[in-house]
Amino acid sequence: MTESDLRARHQQVLPDWLALYYEQPIELTHGEGRHVWDADGVKYLDFFGGILTTMTAHALPEVTKAVAEQAGRIIHSSTLYLNRQMVELAERIAALSGIPDARVFFTTSGTEANDTALLLATAYRNSNAILAMRNSYHGRSFSAVGITGNRAWSPTSLTPLQTLYVHGGVRTRGPYAALDDDAFIAACVADLEDLLGHGRPPAALIAEPVQGVGGFTSPPDGLYAAFREVLAARGVLWISDEVQTGWGRTGDHFWGWQAHAASGPPDMLTFAKGIGNGMSIGGVVARAEVMNCLDANSISTFGGSPVTMAAGLANLTYLLEHDLQGNARRVGGLLLERLRAACAGVACVREVRGRGLMIGIELCEPGTDRPSPERAAAVLEATRAGGLLIGKGGGHSTSVLRIAPPLSLTVGEAEEGAAIVERALRAV
Ligand code: PMP
């Protein structure tokens, strides 16, 4: 079947809003390490799969073997019966989480993890008000859309939550752009206090330590510690959405919240994406008191499936034994340096930023501050033609190139990818 036939069938039967990259979308058929191949046998270096799913490497033999062995033994319900793999992975994640007296609940996606965190927070606090960050992304369910500040990804939601949006996730534009770190944090705290000054106290603040879909923007270190002080005084919970920032991707820290750690860990963290290296695992870690506030039975048929848990255990073991967090710091640092050099003097580049293997290149109309989604789309096509897959993101316009390779990226691959980005940028 040709690619255009498959595309026509896709358009016929799947929703119009199901995003596809590229003018001629790619059908990926296999992968290995940091590379993937399409149905025509074209090979690409993958600089985006690390965020989507493949945190460690494509077709990692350790994970493939664990999945095949478990699938050959039993694939059964995750709950109702004791599940050894789920207990083991929960023990390991609880110990890594930094949250005291931690309990873990497994889901099948990041959206469902955030939904569960909302269920817990609203029940625990008996409040339907949620503080979320402007420009945030938390998923696409009824309630997750309702706490997603990035309007490009939350077109409609009639959720009964009362969402209050807080400043702090982005400071590249608007009145906060000129402030230094301390002044920025003080302004955001004042904004938060203003929101808290009226009405019923909210249940929780949910925030991504680095905004992912929003274009890889990081608030200054310590912002959430400052928020925490204000929130804790009122009993408001802090939920750290670690769906993109967890497991060492940011290089300096295992979790994104640790960049803000002065006031201790969050009350809850949510995770998903790469922990299964492509298998669908999500989950919530919470203090026992918060996790156990639900007074009814609850199960998830597929969350915690023995097969996905086997993948998670093998993947977690691999990434800790190979110090992939350290690799993210070292190779990510070098990649950031190379990309900054590649972008020097390119008029449409507004900023190159990042932490570890989470790097964003924001594009604008040359000589102005206006975002340029057209150029971002053109660079995406040009990098593909050069044999590299990258992603896009940003606020209300998709003008940030997003780079998030598998955490096992080598120095040689980082250099090769940076050279392709440079050629694509200069061509566009
Ligand atoms: N939270 C964040 C920070 C995300 O980036 C995403 C996915 N892009 C989600 C939640 C939702 O995860 P999922 O797509 O697995 O439902």
Residue range 86-145, pLDDT digits in tens: 999 999 999 999 999 999 999 999 999 999 999 999 999 999 999 999 999 999 999 999
Would you tell me how many other CB atoms lie within 10 Å of the CB of residue 29? 11
Contact 270, 240 (CB under 8 A): yes
User: So what's the pLDDT on residue 174?
Assistant: 76
Which residues does a 6 A CB cutoff place in the pocket of ligand 1?
A: 109-111, 114, 137-139, 208, 212-213, 241, 243-244, 272-273, 282
CB 147 within 8 A of CB 130: yes
Q: How far is CA 120 from CA 130, 251, 286, 295, in A?
A: 12, 30, 9, 11
Question: Is the pLDDT confidence value at 266 over 60?
Answer: yes
In terms of Cβ atoms closer than 10 Å to its own Cβ (0-12, 13-18, 19+), residue 90 is buried
- Read off the pLDDT band of 176 (50, 70, 90): confident
Cα–ligand 1 centroid distance for 425 (angstroms) = 28
CA–centroid distance, 277 to ligand 1, in Å, is 15
Closest CA to ligand 1's atom 7? 139
Q: Which atom of ligand 1 is nearest to the CA of 282?
A: 15
Residues β-bridged to residue 43? 37
169-176 contact pairs (CB < 8 A, 24+): 169/133, 169/134, 169/135, 169/136, 169/207, 169/208, 169/211, 169/214, 169/217, 169/219, 170/134, 170/135, 170/211, 170/214, 170/215, 170/217, 170/395, 171/217, 171/219, 172/217, 172/350, 172/351, 172/362, 173/369
**270 Cα: distance to centroid of ligand 1 (angstroms):** 10
In the reported structure, the alpha carbon of residue 392 is separated from the centroid of ligand 1 by a whole-number distance in angstroms of 15
Residues 6+ positions from 196 with CB-CB distance below 8 Å: 202, 230, 234, 236
The DSSP code sequence of 185-245 is: HHHHHHHHHHHHTSSSPPSEEEE-SSBTTTTSB-PPTTHHHHHHHHHHTTT-EEEEE-TTT
Residue with tokens 């969350």: 303
Q: In angstroms, rounded to a whole number, what is the distance separating the alpha carbons of residues 298 and 288?
A: 15
For residue 114, give the ligand 1 atom closest to its CA: 10
Distance, CA 273 to ligand 1 centroid (Å)? 7
Evaluate if residue 177 carries a pLDDT over 90: no
In the reported structure, the alpha carbon of residue 363 is separated from the centroid of ligand 1 by a whole-number distance in angstroms of 24
Mean pLDDT of 67-80: 89
Please state the atom number of ligand 1 nearest to the C-alpha of residue 208.
3
Listed ranges 1-10, 214-223, 377-386; the one with the highest mean pLDDT: 377-386
Q: Which of 53, 137, 280 maximizes ligand 1 atoms within 8 Å of its Cβ, making it the mutation to test the pocket?
A: 137
Angle at 326 between CA 215 and CA 259, to 5 degrees: 50
Most confident of 16-20, 150-154, 337-341: 337-341
Nearest atom of ligand 1 to the alpha carbon of 272:
15
The answer to whether 410 touches 395, Cβ cutoff 8 Å, is no
The total number of residues shown for the chain amounts to 428
Instruction: pLDDT band for 3, please (50, 70, 90 cuts).
Output: low
ipTM, 2 dp: 0.99
Measured by CA distance, the residue closest to atom 10 of ligand 1 is 138
Residue 388 clears pLDDT 70, i.e. is over it: yes
Angle at 273 between CA 271 and CA 276, to 5 degrees: 100
Q: What is the mean pLDDT of the chain?
A: 94
Instruction: Using the mean position of ligand 1's atoms as its centre, give its distance from the Cα of residue 197 in Å.
Output: 31
Q: What is the pLDDT of residues 54-66, one digit of tens each?
A: 899 999 999 999 9
For the segment 153-182, the average pLDDT, to the nearest whole number, is 86
Per-residue pLDDT band at 262 (split at 50, 70, 90): confident
User: Coil, helix or strand for 353?
Assistant: strand
Distance 368 CA to ligand 1 centre (A): 32
The string of pLDDT tens digits covering residues 273-300 is: 989 999 999 999 999 999 999 987 778 8
Q: Which tokens in the block code for residue 88?
A: 């083991």
The protein residue with its alpha carbon nearest to ligand 1, atom 13, reads 110
Arithmetic mean of pLDDT, 389-395: 94
Q: What is the mean pLDDT of residues 215-238?
A: 94
Output 176 or 307, whichever has higher pLDDT: 307
Q: Given pLDDT bands bounded at 50, 70 and 90, which one contains residue 158? A: confident
Kindly tell me if the per-residue pLDDT of 1 is higher than 60.
no
pLDDT score of 2 more than 70: no
Report the pLDDT averaged over residues 226-255.
Answer: 96
- What is the pLDDT at residue 306? 95
**Distance separating alpha carbons of residues 249 and 267, to the nearest angstrom:** 21
Nearest atom in ligand 1 to the alpha carbon of residue 109 is 15
> Which residue has the CA at smallest separation from atom 12 of ligand 1?
110
- Per cent of the chain over pLDDT 90 is 85
Chain centroid offset of residue 28 CA: 22
Res. 71 pLDDT band, cuts 50 70 90:
very high
For a substitution probing ligand 1, which of 273, 284, 358, 392 has the most ligand atoms within 8 Å of its CB?
273
Pocket test for ligand 1, best of 108, 111, 112 (most atoms within 8 A of CB): 111
pLDDT at position 155 over 80: no
Phi-psi region of 361 (alpha: psi -120 to 50; beta: other; left: phi over 0): beta
For atom 1 of ligand 1, the residue with the nearest CA is 138
